[in-house]
Amino acid sequence: VPHSAEPGTGKFQINTGFSISVAGKVSEFVYDRADDFLRRLNGRTGIFIGQERIRKGMSQPATVSLKIFSKEAGELALGMNESYELRITPDLISLNAVSSYGIIRGLETLLQLLEADPEGYFFNAVTVKDKPRFPWRGLLIDPARHWLPVDVILRNIDGMAALKMNVLHLHLTEDQGFRIESKAYPKLHELGGEGDYYSQEQIKEIIRYAADRCIRVVPEFDIPGHATSWLVGYPELATVQQEYSIEREWGIMNPVLDPTKERTYEFLDTFLTEMAGLFPDAYMHIGGDENNGKHWNQSAHITKFKEENNIKDNHELQALFNKRLHKILSKNGKMMVGWDEIQHPDIPKNIVIQSWRGQKGLAAAAKAGYPVMLSNGYYIDLIQPASFHYLNDPLPDELGLTSEEKKLVLGGEATMWGEQVTAETIDSRIWPRTAAIAERLWSPADVRDIASMYERMGKISIQLEEHGLTHEKNYDMMLRRLCAGKGVDELRILADVAEPVKRYRRNALSDVNALMPYTRFVDATRPDAQKAREFNYMVNHWLKDRDGSQNDSKKNNYKALFQQLNHWYSNNNQLFNVIDQNPIIHEIRPLAENMRKMTFIGLQALEYIKNQSKAPEAWISFALGICDEARKPYGETELMIVEGIAELINACK
Ligand code: ACM
């Protein structure tokens, strides 16, 4: 949703003569994006638009459909001008911006405005004046927990650009892997990356690809904790001298760098200076989260160092470490970014805090005078619905920030932690929900209508596929594989209303680690299951007006609910057969059984309500008992229609 949109009259009809001109001071990439725009418009409409490739120095078309003008080239940096004005009239579309970055954003808006009717494709007349609410609108991708090849990153950069996001935060180092080539210390990637890492050439390609889409790349080197993979090749950096191997478990680990040795800082100086030369952005992330301090506490030389230097606790010791990092980064012209934990009175204010533990942390940072951005509430690895993330505002009134403190809130980042995703499934955890977060960070604060968001998210989700994103197509592919190609329709009916368990429950339910398969039913299912959401909504809607007259919409809603429940219920015999034939999905047999029971009592409840008769108390308690059983996850997957059916049962009382 743009900052403002003023509808005009008429529409711009698209035909084979559609043409684009580019004028003003534009960066080279504007031609590429304008060309992409034309290919995408071609692709979506099937209209063979005849204009040649759009390139610098091309001859301008005789009659112009879309006139692009940018005043300045602009420079890719925090706070760059991304505003634009898009005016569509029946004869001409004009896109004007102060900088090339605004042009890129405006082209995406224009593609979103494409509409169709039986006569063809068109843009409705409108004047859009748009600018972002926050300057930092990021997505964290974590190729350290599970390796993600370059093409995964590139297609997600395209997805980000489509949603006007502007920071790709790469979490490059972890206990489970070191994913960037270091020429200075090659054992970091050779031993720490086990063969899976980005070469410096590949990183340059990622940075260039992102920059051409107005996206900054901020690398994260997470230290002093979360650093086991560093120690495999360079154990001398560790607090506890021992042999280290790549971590296979998920969680908070004990290995930690030694902040008391000069050798640690010499190493980090060389390494971070090398990385500062590779990553052009002014910001560099040093992590700093979840250092449990165990190895520090058990080391006599650390205790001695703390006593000698009058350091009262581990937080203060880490602040001393961070101060040294701050010097190294400053020397290289970099601003330091870190998680909440790096906040400490001894640390200068020219750093950015990334708040992950809560909005209180964000407020505390802003009140202490630090620039800050929000990730708490945007943890897309936790499988929460888009509506939850959408309503999570970086600046809720409750924080009680002054207008000066509010200015320190730069925006936020969705975080796609990599424990439970692979190259095959990651897109389905990022998209389409991240579109809702992107809107939260771009659009005015009062744009908060959930129904409108979901309606638009559904459209965006399909458009995102034109970049090769796999959130839709891999779903069917994975289901197909689970049943060896036989019974995918039956399996999909269950998968459509199932979701992976939420938050960190998956770790508690099974013996997960980095080498386990992520190809099971749970991995095929997706967050915010649309079919379940629509069913629950339909139930709610139908019950709301059940005391009213027997109007048509009410009858239609009853019919739709009956058909849906009946469809689900009648699927079950075939579904059991599919499950029996494929051992990899035996674990979801109880889920299918619960689906059968739930849909049966759902149909019964529907009849009680329709006939306006009260259900016997014994039936109510039996039926609610079925719901309780159906709330249990199986194969780390849960049924998402339980609440809708429980609502039907409660309405029979
Ligand atoms: C974090 O989630 N430990 C930043």
Number of the ligand 1 atom closest to the C-alpha atom of 226: 3
d(CA 225, CA 332): 23
Phi-psi group of 485: left, alpha or beta (phi > 0 → left; psi -120 to 50 → alpha; rest → beta) = left
**Predicted local confidence at residue 619, as pLDDT:** 97
21 forms beta bridges with 67
Q: Is 289 in the pocket of ligand 1 (CB under 6 A)?
A: yes
Number of the ligand 1 atom closest to the C-alpha atom of 287: 4
CA angle 275, 276, 282 (to 5 degrees): 135
CA atoms within 13 A on the CB side of 166: 27
**Predicted local confidence at residue 550, as pLDDT:** 62
Where are the extended beta strands (E) located within 296-370? 335-339, 351-355
Grouping H, G, I as helix, E, B as strand and the rest as coil, residue 335 is: strand
d(CA 388, CA 433): 10
Phi-psi group of 145: left, alpha or beta (phi > 0 → left; psi -120 to 50 → alpha; rest → beta) = alpha
| Amino acid symbol at 426 | I
190 is catalytic: no
Alpha helices in 130-216 (DSSP H): 150-162, 187-192, 200-211
Q: Is 196 in the pocket of ligand 1 (CB under 6 A)?
A: no
- Nearest Cα to 387, choosing from 606, 533, 599, 538? 533
Number of the ligand 1 atom closest to the C-alpha atom of 339: 4
pTM of the model: 0.97
Q: Is 316 in the pocket of ligand 1 (CB under 6 A)?
A: no
Low-confidence residues of the chain: pLDDT under 70: 547-550
| Amino acid symbol at 506 | R
**Predicted local confidence at residue 549, as pLDDT:** 58
**Predicted local confidence at residue 547, as pLDDT:** 61
Where are the extended beta strands (E) located within 196-242? 216-220
**What's the 356 CA to ligand 1 centre distance in angstroms?**
6
**Location of structure tokens 């060389």:** 270
**What's the 414 CA to ligand 1 centre distance in angstroms?**
12
**What's the 228 CA to ligand 1 centre distance in angstroms?**
16
Considering 290, 587, 593, 647, which one is annotated as catalytic?
A: 290
**Predicted local confidence at residue 141, as pLDDT:** 98
Q: Is 123 in the pocket of ligand 1 (CB under 6 A)?
A: no
How far is residue 234 from each of residues 237, 272, 324, 627, measured CA to CA in Å? 6, 15, 20, 54
User: Which residue among 140, 356, 373, 413 has the greatest number of ligand 1 atoms within 8 angstroms of its CB, and so is best to mutate?
Assistant: 356
Q: Is 197 in the pocket of ligand 1 (CB under 6 A)?
A: no
User: Which residue among 176, 252, 337, 339 has the greatest number of ligand 1 atoms within 8 angstroms of its CB, and so is best to mutate?
Assistant: 339
How far is residue 415 from each of residues 12, 137, 229, 437, measured CA to CA in Å? 39, 11, 21, 11
Grouping H, G, I as helix, E, B as strand and the rest as coil, residue 221 is: coil
Beta carbons of 385 and 372 less than 8 angstroms apart = no
| Amino acid symbol at 384 | Q
State whether the Cα torsion 561-562-565-566 is positive or negative: negative
**Predicted local confidence at residue 554, as pLDDT:** 74
**Predicted local confidence at residue 557, as pLDDT:** 85
Q: What's the gap between Cα 34 and its chain centre? A: 26
